[in-house]
Amino acid sequence: MTAVGAAPVEPIVDSHVHIWDLSKIRPPWMTGSGLDRPARWAEYREASAGMDVAKAVYLEIDVAPADHPLEARLAIELCRDPSNAFVAAVIGGRPADETFRDYIAPLAKEPEVKGVRQVLHGETPAGTCLRPEFVRGVRLLGELGLSFDLCLRHADLPDAAKLIEAAPGTSFVLDHCGNPPVFGDLSAWKKDVDRIAKFPNVVGKVSGIVSQAKGRAWSDDDLAPVVLHMLEAFGPDRVMFGGDWPVCTLGAPLGAWAASLKRITADRPEAERRKLWHDNAVKAYRLT
C-alpha cells in the first residue's frame, strides 16, 4: 500500500497507553522485556509529537496483584493532572479473586476509572476466563458500569466468545485485534473475530499488532489484512485506534504505527476515519 493517508479529521483519542514511573511502581515482567526504561507523560508526549492526541486512556501494566491499589491510585492521579492528555483509566484487577468486589466497588465510583483488564496470555492457563468465579467478577463489572478489556492469545478467542455470551450486561473491548499471528496464518483468527464481533457489547481495538515485528522488516501490507478485517467484522461504529505505547516500540515508533494505519485506512470515508481515531473511543470508554 502506497497511498498517502489523510490526516484524521478530529483530534486523536489514543485509547491504549501504558505509563509507568519505575521509581514508584515496577511490574514483575519488566526485567529483560526490552522496555525497562521510564514511560511517563513526558516520554509519551515526545513519542506522540505531531499526532494531535487530544485525549489518552491509561491501560494497566500487569503489576503484581498486591500492587493493584497502588497502580489504581497512580492512574487516577495521572488522569486528574490537567497538564497531560490522560482523562480515563482501565486499571488492573483479578475478577476471580474473593476480594474483587471489595477492591473494585469503591474504585468504580471514581469518574476516571472506566474499566478493568487482566492479561490472560503469557503463563495464564487456557480457560481461566471461563471459571465460574471469573465470570461472576466480569458480570459484576457490568453491574458497576465498568467495562472489561480482553487481552488474550488468539488461540483463546473462542473462550472470549463464551465469556462475552455469559456476561451480556458487561461491555467488552477486544485489545490488540485479538492478538492475531500478524506474520502467519490468519484464517482461524478471522473466524474467531467474526464470531466475537457478532456480540453488540464488544468494541474492537486496533492496536498491538506492530509490536510483533520485533526487529523484522514490515510494511503496510503486513498489517493491512488484520486492520481491514477488523473494520469489516466490527463495522465503522465499533473500532478504535490504540497506540499501545511503549510496547509498540518493540516493532516501530508510535508515529510510524499511526502513520501506517492512516495509510491503510486512507480510502475510508471521512466519517468512518473520525470514528476510528476519535469518536468510538469517546463512546466506548465514556469519555468527557
pLDDT digits (tens, 9 = 90+) for 169-204: 999 999 999 999 999 999 999 999 999 999 999 999
What is the pLDDT at residue 10? 67
Q: How confident is the model at residue 11 (pLDDT cuts 50, 70, 90)?
A: very high
List of residues 6+ apart from 66 with CB closer than 8 A:
none
User: What percent of the chain stands above pLDDT 90?
Assistant: 95
What is the pLDDT at residue 149? 99
* Strand-pair partners of 245: 17
Residue 226 near residue 177 (C-beta atoms within 8 A): yes
Q: Which amino acid is at 11?
A: P
Section 22-51 average pLDDT: 97
pLDDT of 207 > 50? The answer is yes
Model pLDDT for residues 242-268, shown as the tens digit of each residue? 999 999 999 999 999 999 999 999 999
The single-letter DSSP state of residue 59 is E
pLDDT of 8 > 50? The answer is no
Nearest CA to 153 out of 130, 181, 133 is that of 181
Measured CA angle at 226 (ends 87, 181), to 5 deg = 100
Section 130-137 average pLDDT: 98
What is the pLDDT at residue 148? 99
Section 97-107 average pLDDT: 99
Q: Residue 285, exposed/middle/buried by CB under 10 A (0-12, 13-18, 19+)?
A: buried
What is the pLDDT at residue 1? 36
d(CA 78, CA 72): 10
Q: How confident is the model at residue 288 (pLDDT cuts 50, 70, 90)?
A: confident
The single-letter DSSP state of residue 4 is P
C-alpha cell at 208: 498491538
The fold adopted by the segment(s) 12-284 is TIM Barrel (3.20.20)
Model pLDDT for residues 224-239, shown as the tens digit of each residue? 999 999 999 999 999 9
Q: How confident is the model at residue 5 (pLDDT cuts 50, 70, 90)?
A: very low
- Give Dmax (Cα) for the chain: 52
- Delimit the domains of the chain by residue range: 12-284
Section 66-76 average pLDDT: 99
Q: Quick one: angle between helices 132-143 and 100-108, nearest 10? A: 20
- What is the average pLDDT score of the chain? 96
Q: Other CB atoms closer than 10 Å to residue 154's CB: what's the count?
A: 20
Q: How confident is the model at residue 215 (pLDDT cuts 50, 70, 90)?
A: confident
d(CA 223, CA 264): 8
